[in-house]
Structure 1
Amino acid sequence: MLNQAEIMSEFLEPSSTKSKAKPARFPSIDEFSWIWVGLILLFACSAIIAPGTVSRGSILAMLPFAGILAIVATGQTLVIQQRGLDMSAIGMVSLAGIVMARTGFAFDSIVLAVVISVCVGGIIGIVNGALVSRVAITPLVATLAVNALLIGFARSLTGNVPVDVPTVMQTISHAQFLGLPVNVWFALAFVASAWLITRKTVVGRRFIAVGVNPRAAQAAGVNVLKYKIGAYFASAVCFSAAGMLLAGFIGSASQTSGNDYLLPAIAAVVVGGTPFTGGRGSVIASAVAALFMAQLGQLVLALGAGAAVQLLVQACAILLATTVRHLPELLRKLRKERR
């Protein structure tokens, strides 16, 4: 176990004060790199088993949904890095699309609609964070309760009838830039922003330190409460953005829009290698895993499998990823034993 001084020196000190660089070694595959190997193997298998799934048309049809899933997975990764879990993704994705649609028509401004939707999502995220970190309710229980309230509110806004989305938002969600769907570029922006903040800033080092050991971080003078609530705030903003893009792409918003973006997002985080023990994590690996999950679903559909088989395949992918994550440690132990 690391003591407080070791933890704080690792995550709270500027990079310039750390020890000198270690001798160069050959690059190794860590727990966050296996997903790249899995993604390459998946596309190779897809090209052999179902070539139609790797055609340009199929990939372009899959990428918008993969981008939306990557945004949700990014938010979920940040929460899991703080030893939490946000089960309100279903309600948040659904409600964001509905609020955007309603306010977009009411104010005749898509910009104002987006701002209002993000603000609503941010407030809900703060409520989630306060319930978990301030009231000390288990994350699973707190976010499930909030999710139920969000779905109820979404139903009251729509009357259980899907609402149309402003044409401007539909145009944005279906647009392409440099040959890629705009949803993918939005996903890249969210992932890059989260990566830069958590890996290249003092705030990010403290964020990781809080996830690794909240008590040690508190003893070092870090405001633990602020970072825990901030993680849920960031996840809610990601869910809101995903909900608006999804509603624009589909052309309508309803209380069931987010049903397919809870378990697949958590699966993407797990497959990407982020542990539930907090601290360590990779939003890039989670985003790549989102692409993996989207392509895997497309492959299963192309083979004519039903919904039950899709869930079984997802479960197998999670189990395989969890097992593969421990391979580097196992290989290191075997090498030491041979020496």
Structure 2
Amino acid sequence: MNKERVISIDVFRGLTIFIMILGNLSPDSQYTYPTLLHSGWTGVNIIDFAFPGFIFIMGVSTFFAHSLKYTDWLGKVIKRTIILFVLGLLVNHLPLLFTAFFSPDYTFAQAGNDFITYFRPFGVLQRIALVYLVGTIIFQGISRPWSLFILSLLLMGISSLGYHLYNPAEPFSEVNNISLYIDQHLQGASHNYMQAQYDPDGLYGTINATATMLLGCFAGVMLKTRQGFTLTTNNNTKKLFSMGIVLLLAAWGWSQWEIISKPLWTAPYVLSMVGLGMILLSLLEGLSHSVFFRFILHPLTALGRNPIFAYLLSEWGLALLFAIPHNGEPLYLWLYHTYFFTSASPFTSTFAYTLLWDLTFVILAEVMNWKNIVIKI
């Protein structure tokens, strides 16, 4: 395999992190453009592509991971899994310490009590960790592309079967489905996201999230011969683009009897997001040798080389700014209301504020790239 970085993968990864951060930083959901909010129980918005897109490209990059060629690859994978899982726990619970440190009305004792009472074991990084562990082990044992594809379909079929067996009448009911049942009985509602009845990053959805990564591995294998890539001459990019169209059609067909749901990470959701991912990756790969392309999208390339680090900074930075009080409200909201929000154009001002914060992480990524700093997580 070529030891060069695959630019299209970095750009794709950077784009997913950029969208993910953009969706997390909104100061007021009431005045956020709907497409930048997570969809409800069914359907998808732009923001809903970020997480499955990241897992998809994690699968693609798994094929190009040089560390997997060595005999001690499993130890490296387990180590990275543990690191990602622990960092996910810190994302969930460091805000308690920030609040205790800056708020006179919230003590460290209360923070400790809330940590025990509302401890949340799952989250974005925890799901990434589990999918990375299982998906990489499967990929090391099954590297043939169509075997990966068939296994992905099998996982989606198993997940769908679980919903139908648990509640044949309404398999994807918001109040009674197998994913919700597992969330309530494995960790309990008080340990779910926002203490809801289900956790959007719970354990059952990890089945289809793993299928998402394996389809990414499938895409990576399809792109394994990388000589002279151009959009017009390389057959692999054309095949990947065509496969993306096929998966979108399959998603539409599957959605005729099962819902497209991001909270449940259903099979039609996987197929639609992976289909879009394959189309986007094929286009990025086809343009990746254009000097103009590299210049325009270089910020995303830089962000894609330190994606987890940028995500962590955005999460902890947001938590810190929310924990610091100023004039009776969190500093993050005070800055928003004082310098950005206007009642004449509330949606535009909210978007501008969110975008500005997102761009600060892009700039930081550019500086790190200029200094050749890559924090491997």
Kindly indicate whether structure 1 or structure 2 has the higher relative contact order, using CA contacts under 8 Å at least 6 residues apart: 1
The normalised TM-score by structure 2 is: 0.28
Higher helix share: 1
